[in-house]
Amino acid sequence: MGRNEYMFNLNRSFLASIEGSTLSESAVTADLVLTKTPNLYELNFNLTGTVICECDVCLEEFSLPINHDFELIMKVSVTENYDDDEIIYITDKLLEFDLSQYLYESLILSIPVRKVCDLSGTKTCNQEAIAKLEQLNHLEQPEGETNPAWDKLKDILKNNH
């Protein structure tokens, strides 16, 4: 009963232990405060550190800062049930619970959908890659040729206005 504190390192070896991990490198610390009552375990996590991501704009790798808090509730029950997203039901016979998959999924969810170098605060996008992308974007089509897909979209837009 009471309050206990734990710390986990979510690093390269942790990520290697997760089957199908989409990350290969991180330096994240997961601090856990576990509050235990007779029928309930309240787990409060704080993830802090960095993960190595690929920029969605220039495709360069960069170090993305992570700072994410989340909570997990484990409730003592007659039967085990892991289907609920918010509460895990465990029996009083359970002596250990592996948090690694939960920690990994929470780490993944703490990463923004759009990852750009500018989020790191220390790096900006690779200007050479940006220049090449802009060149590709501004390539002109040969005279008289149009893109059929764009023509259909333009027709739809005209018909809706």
Given a cut of 80, whether residue 160 has pLDDT beyond it is: no
- pLDDT, one tens digit per residue, over 37-60 is 988 989 999 999 999 998 888 888
> In the predicted model, what is the mean pLDDT of residues 22-42?
92
User: For 116-148, what is each residue's pLDDT tens digit?
Assistant: 887 555 667 777 777 777 777 666 555 556 777
Q: Please, which pLDDT band fits residue 153 given cuts at 50, 70 and 90?
A: confident
Q: What is the pLDDT of residue 139?
A: 62
Per-residue pLDDT at 117 = 81
| Lowest mean per-residue pLDDT among 34-48, 84-98, 103-117 | 84-98
Domain ranges of the chain: 2-139
Supply the mean pLDDT for the chain.
83
Distances (CA, A) of 21 to 4, 49, 101, 106, 157: 29, 18, 10, 13, 42
pLDDT of 69 over the 70 cut:
yes
Q: What is the pLDDT of residue 4?
A: 92
Q: Is the pLDDT of residue 76 over 60?
A: yes
Q: Environment class of residue 141 by beta-carbon count within 10 Å: exposed (0-12), middle (13-18) or buried (19+)?
A: exposed
